Amino acid sequence: MQKRLQLHLQEEEVDLERRNSLRENYWYITPEDYEAAAKNGISKTLLYQRVKIYNWSIERAINTKKRGSQITNEEWREGVRNGLSRHLILSRLRRGWNLERACTEKVKK
């Protein structure tokens, strides 16, 4: 009987520790966090997903840039008018070129 009681108490301790650790990982996103994210181009929805669904820290969720192309249609058109393909523009951006240079500088032959 004594061993069963000890085992039961140990299981309750483990369960309590697990619940406390889950509570520590629950992040509250403040209005200031949403404002900081908006300044970095992160929407409220994306910030929420990063923190609540993907378990990112708030700091990481706010400061990590969005993936994907942030090029407007006008910038694409400018590149095409200059004889550049979308693939070339994206390749230039991946190599660290700034957006204006990637869309305007013609191919050297």
Report the domain count for the chain. Answer: 2
Give CA angle at 42 (86, 100), nearest 5°: 35
Tokens at 96, concatenated: 């660290």
Interacting residues of 102 by C-beta distance below 8 A, sequence separation 6+ = 79, 89, 92, 93
Q: Both 57 and 77 in a single domain?
A: no
**pLDDT tens string 19-53:** 555 445 456 889 999 999 999 888 999 999 999 99
* Domain contains 81: yes
Report pLDDT digits (tens) over 97-108.
888 888 888 888
Question: Does residue 109 fall inside a structural domain?
Answer: no
0.75 exceeded by pTM: no
Q: Assign 95 to helix, strand or coil.
A: coil
Domain that holds residue 22: 2-63
Residue 54: DSSP 8-state: S
Residues 43, 95 within the same domain: no
